[in-house]
Amino acid sequence: MNASVVHQMDAAELTRMILEREPLFILDVRNEEVFNNWKIEGQSVEVINIPYFDLLDGVDEFMDRIPQDMKVLIVCAKEGSSQFVAEMLASAGRSEVYYLAGGMKAWNEYLHPVKISDLQGGGALYQFLRIGKGCLSYLIISEGEAAVVDASRLTEVYESFARQAGARIIHALDTHLHADHISGGRKLAEKTGAVYWLPPKDADEVVFDYSGLEEGQTLTVGSARIQIKPVYSPGHTIGSTSLLIDGQFLLSGDILFMQSIGRPDLAGKAEDWVGDLYTTLHKTYNSLAEHLIVLPAHFGKIAELGDGGRVAAALPELFRSNPGLQVREESEFREMVTANLPEHPNAYQEIRQINMGKLQPTEEEQREMETGPNRCAVHDN
C-alpha cells in the first residue's frame, strides 16, 4: 500500500472546513448503529457510512460511491481503522485522501474558541464551541481576570486561553447541574484557585464545597467591573440560573436554545418542572430587556451555527422563530413538551452523579460516558 499519499486531518482543521463551508466527503467506517446515533455534519459535507468490516476484502466495489472531485476524509472511532481504509483508497488510485486523527474520540473533545463581542466596560466575551458534542461554554476576560461558564471537563483549553490573554481565572460557574456532559467547573476552580459557583437548588446532593449562585448577586471580572448577574430560571432543572453579562448578553444555559427549548425530565420530574419551564420562558424571559443576545449552553443542529461558528440570537427573534416558544397557552405548552421528549443522553444518570461528586471514574470512562450527541432539548428533531 502506498501510504505516502495519505494525509492526516485533525479536529481543528475539520472544524475550520465545516465553518468555512468547504466541500468535503466523509466516509464513516463505524458500524451502522453507532453512525446513525452520532455523526459529523456540515452544510458542505457529504457523509456516507460503509462499516469497516465490509471493506476488509477491498474497496473496489465501493469506489463508485466516492466522488473524484472532493477531499475524502475517512472517520472511525479512534483512528486505526480509518487510516487503514485511507491507505486502501490511496492504493486504489484516489488522491486527497485523509483520515481523522484521533477519530471520533478526538472530534468529541475538540473546543473551538469564537469571539462573541468586546464588552462595554472593557474586555471580551468568548464562546467555546464543542462542535462534536454540541456543547457551548463561555469565557469572560477583563483587565487580567477571567470567568468561565459551563466549562467542559477539558479544562486545560480554558486555562491555556486565559494564560495567553494574560488573565487569571477567578470564577467558574455552572448554570445548572449538567446531565449530558461532565462539568469542568469544580476541577477548574481547584486548579486555578477560582471560586466555583453552582445554583444551590441543584446542589442538594453534592458532596463538595461550592458558592451558591443565586439571583440578586453581582459578580465582577476585572478592574473594568464587567457584571455577571444571575437570573433564577428553573425548568430544565429546579436550580437552573441564567446569567446577564455586561447588560448585553443572556447566557441561557439549557433553558433556551436557537431552535428548541430545554427538556424538564432529566431528574425524573418532567410533570413537576414543565410548569417552571413555562414560567421561565413566557414570563421571566419575556420580561427581560429586548436588546439582549441569547447565548445557550448547547446547539442541536449544525445549521444553528452562524458566522465564524457563533451560536447566538436576539431574544425577540427567538420569540418569533423558535418552535418551542410558539405555544403560549400553558396547558398546550405542557402537552407539547411532555409529548416530545427525545431519547435520554448517554449515561446521563452517571454523569449527574459525577457532577455531584459522588463518582470518580477514570479519564477513559469519562470519555466513553460523553460519547454521542447532547440531548438536552425538546425540539432537536
Exposed e or buried b per residue across 75-109, where buried means at least 16 C-beta atoms within 10 angstroms of its C-beta:
bbbebebbbbbbbbbbbbebebbbbbbbbbbbbbb
Distance CA 234, CA 284 (A): 10
7 burial via Cβ count (<10 Å: 0-12, 13-18, 19+): middle
Distance CA 338, CA 273 (A): 10
Distance CA 380, CA 317 (A): 18
Catalytic residue among 19, 24, 45, 76: 76
**According to DSSP H, which parts of 267-314 are helical?**
270-279
Give catalytic status of residue 76 as yes or no. yes
Give 226's DSSP letter: E
Classified as helix, coil or strand, 309 is helix
* 78: its cell numbers: 479512534
| Residue that is written with C-alpha cell 449527574 in the block | 352
**Vertex 126 angle, CA 120 and 131, to 5°:** 155
Q: Which helix (H) or strand (E) holds 88?
A: helix 80-91
3-state secondary structure 41-63: CCCCEEEEECCHHHCCCCCHHHH
* 138: its cell numbers: 463561555
Active site residues: 76
